[in-house]
Amino acid sequence: MEYVTLLNGIKMPMVGLGTWDLRGDEVTRAVLEAIDVGYRLIDTAQMYENEEAIGKAVKNSNVAREDLFITTKLHTPFRSYDLAKKGIEDSLKNLKTDYIDLMLIHGAYDEAEEMYRAFEQALETGKVRAIGISNFSIERYNKFIENCNIMPAVNQVDSHVYHPRHDLKEVLDKKGTVMEAWSCLTQKKRNISEEPVLKEIGEVHGKTPAQIALKYLVQQGIVVIPKTSHKERMIENIQLFDFMLNKDEMRRIDVLDEGKTLFEWTGH
């Protein structure tokens, strides 16, 4: 596993398990299997209603808590300073943990700045190890950072080979905010496995089209959190560090960029 160092020195794995739409025993099993095959980053959110089941897996896993990296997010029911403060406590309780590795504001809400004050305080008291945002456009990010005391460590946004968002990445890079990709496999909106350029490049490296699509992001320093409940795919999605895409291959994948999101909902 490779890691990226966040602004405050915390190390974050470059690949994690997404858990949207997985609940109950299924997500407990999936997280235990993922940890077993080498995952250390688990991505959840209060919105996914699976924090408790993930907490169960974290408690029962053979890997020490300090070797895991748990991300969670607060959404619309927590849109004030007081509610965000309560939301952090709720997540700690649900996840059965003393601290959260990365806490994100789930969308670019009008109250995001106010919620972030509660995040900044939780960082000071050690309840969270890093704080950030999700679904912030360039414009909203620039406005947000004018008003925060601590730079967001991460902006988690929809990003994949058809919409890599190089312009946003460039803005985030300048300020040291790491870009993290949700829908890194397009949430099945596109059949990545049949994309000719990904298949051709995959054949050269002995990799699947999904691995090439993920590597394209990881090689640019973008953290990926592909979701799957299948163990064989978990293994596939994490095996990204034994090859490199050359400049020509990166350029051939660049051409897939359609310049717009595939999603109606992007958290705004």
Ligand X SMILES: NC(=O)c1ccc[n+]([C@@H]2O[C@H](COP(=O)([O-])OP(=O)(O)OC[C@H]3O[C@@H](n4cnc5c(N)ncnc54)[C@H](OP(=O)(O)O)[C@@H]3O)[C@@H](O)[C@H]2O)c1
Q: Which residues are catalytic?
A: 48
Q: Which is nearer to ligand X, 97 or 211 (CB)?
A: 211
Cα(79)–Cα(124) distance, integer angstroms = 21
Residue from 121, 219, 220, 229 in contact with ligand X (CB under 6 A): 229
CA distance 191 to 212: 13
Q: From CA 163, how far away is CA 216, in angstroms rounded?
A: 12
The yes or no reply on residue 19 touching ligand X (CB under 6 A) is: yes
Binding of ligand X at residue 228 (CB under 6 A)? yes
Residue 94 within binding range of ligand X, rule CB under 6 A:
no
Q: Does residue 261 interact with ligand X by CB under 6 A?
A: no
Please provide the size of the chain in residues: 268
**Among residues 82 and 241, whose Cβ is nearest to ligand X?**
241
Nearer to ligand X, 110 or 248 (CB): 110
For residues 20-39, which are near ligand X according to CB under 6 A? 20
Q: Which candidate, 120, 127, 124, 164, places its Cα nearest to that of 144?
A: 120
What stretch of H or E contains 223?
A: strand 223-224
Distance between CA atoms of residues 51 and 30, nearest Å? 13
**Can residue 18 be called a binding residue for ligand X (CB under 6 A)?**
yes
H/E element holding 241? none
Residues that bind ligand X (CB under 6 A): 18-20, 43, 106, 134-135, 156, 182-188, 193, 210, 225-230, 233, 236-237, 267
